[in-house]
Amino acid sequence: MASGNGTNGGGTLLLGTTKGAFLARPRDGGGEGDGGWELDGPHFPGEEVYAMAYDDRAGRSRLWAAPHSPFWGTTLRFSDDFGANWSGKAERSVRFPEDSGLSLKRVWQIQPGSAREPDVIRLGVEPACLFISHDAGEEWEAVEGLLNHPHRERWVGGAGGLCLHTIVTDGEPGGRATIAISAAGAYRSDDGGATWAARNKGVRAEFLPDKHPEFGQCVHKIVHHPSNPGRLFLQNHWGLYRSDDWGDSWTDIANGVPSDFGFAMAMHPGDADTVYIVPLESDGFRCTPEAKLRVYRTRDGGASWEALTEGLPQRNAYETVLRDALDTLAPGQVFFGTRSGKVYASRDDGTTWGLVCEGLPPVVCVKACAAGRG
């Protein structure tokens, strides 16, 4: 299961799968990285865990997870002891207002706010909406500017449902934020969430008669770097883009990738020019092109991309990496999980890779955090 090839640089991997959550920890506690990984789980066995997060602000050390039972619905759970104990199953605090006519299906994203808003947590959910807590997760409210958005009645879900899966903010309380919805596109608020405007100019929608509508794009992921928050990178359902103006306009940056279709995208934690993706062949064949498992990296803001293959299978690798199954951790760690239940790690910015574990249920969420159980 574990590898001994220098992939475990410390911390904890939060692994969400379609059958529960797992925590992977380096056996040597983050030493030289040759002790392999140990796996803890499954937590919430049998439930889908599409969203996990770690909150280390304001003295906390709290894991979050949003298990979804196909039978009994979705709960929001936390643990202050790295999964030894979780808050009770009765966590039903995320509820749509009664007059909305909506009911929560699944949580797709749990995002603690910046250090400047230490008690703010945002959730991206299905049906597409943003929820926010101002008290570190005690109480939640739907962001009405999105809940009552005039476009809502014309939003259409993608294969995964009508989900709000991505949240990027400028980190300022009451500041600017961009969210992404499949398949409604990107929306930005400049007023703390009161109003939202579509920001999809230049992003194509291959599956619509009008390839460049105001909204309706199937955005799969958006990332940015805190040092340059207005520069966004976008992995689309066909299309790879960059915006230098907070999404006012988008430029194609699919320069040298085998396919511009894919889901996962992650920002390097320390370099605002470096982004990782895992291209897939097509929407009709959502597997790695040429049966080679390749992560692609740009180090120049998308002007060029290079394949990262060392340590990854380059034969018979029909893999799929989904939108939240790729993450990074300072200084140069990169992690991803596959639908076939494998998890890989790199400690050198993706140049070489090793297997963390295999045999998991389909991996849908990978989040890396520097801390671990004390």
Partner 1 sequence: MPAGTQTGATPGAGLVRVTLPAALTEFTGGRSKVDVPGAPAPVGEILAGLGAAHPDVHDRLITERGRLRPHVNIFVDGENIRFLSGLDTPVTDGAEVVVLPAVSGG
User: Measured from the CB of residue 332, what is the shortest distance to partner 1 in angstroms?
Assistant: 37
Does residue 369 contact residue 355 with C-beta atoms inside 8 Å? no
User: Measured from the CB of residue 72, what is the shortest distance to partner 1 in angstroms?
Assistant: 4
Output DSSP code: residue 145: H
The residue among 71 and 227 lying less far from partner 1, judged by its C-beta, is 71
The residue among 70 and 150 lying less far from partner 1, judged by its C-beta, is 70
Does residue 23 contact residue 342 with C-beta atoms inside 8 Å? no
Give, rounded to a whole angstrom, the gap between the first and last alpha carbons of the chain.
23
By C-alpha distance, which of 65, 24, 25 is closest to 47?
Answer: 65
User: Measured from the CB of residue 128, what is the shortest distance to partner 1 in angstroms?
Assistant: 16
The residue among 42 and 350 lying less far from partner 1, judged by its C-beta, is 42
| 3-class SS of residue 308 | strand
User: Measured from the CB of residue 95, what is the shortest distance to partner 1 in angstroms?
Assistant: 5
Output DSSP code: residue 186: E
By C-alpha distance, which of 206, 242, 192 is closest to 222?
Answer: 242
The residue among 2 and 123 lying less far from partner 1, judged by its C-beta, is 123
Output DSSP code: residue 272: T
The footprint of partner 1 (CB under 8 A) covers 18, 69-73, 89-90, 92, 95-96, 98, 101-104
- Please confirm whether the linkage preceding 42 is cis (ω < 30° from 0): yes
Does residue 22 contact residue 12 with C-beta atoms inside 8 Å? no
User: Measured from the CB of residue 106, what is the shortest distance to partner 1 in angstroms?
Assistant: 13
β-strands 306-308, 12-17 pairing: unpaired
User: Measured from the CB of residue 73, what is the shortest distance to partner 1 in angstroms?
Assistant: 6
Tokens of 309: 């293959």
The residue among 84 and 90 lying less far from partner 1, judged by its C-beta, is 90
CA distance 170 to 104: 27
CA distance 352 to 310: 5
Q: Is the dihedral of CA 176, 139, 142, 74 positive or negative?
A: positive
Does residue 295 contact residue 268 with C-beta atoms inside 8 Å? no
The residue among 101 and 374 lying less far from partner 1, judged by its C-beta, is 101
The residue among 103 and 255 lying less far from partner 1, judged by its C-beta, is 103
CA distance 214 to 18: 33
User: Measured from the CB of residue 327, what is the shortest distance to partner 1 in angstroms?
Assistant: 25
User: Measured from the CB of residue 162, what is the shortest distance to partner 1 in angstroms?
Assistant: 16
The residue among 70 and 209 lying less far from partner 1, judged by its C-beta, is 70
> What is the longest distance spanned by two Cα atoms in the chain?
56
User: Measured from the CB of residue 19, what is the shortest distance to partner 1 in angstroms?
Assistant: 9
CA distance 228 to 168: 12
The residue among 104 and 147 lying less far from partner 1, judged by its C-beta, is 104
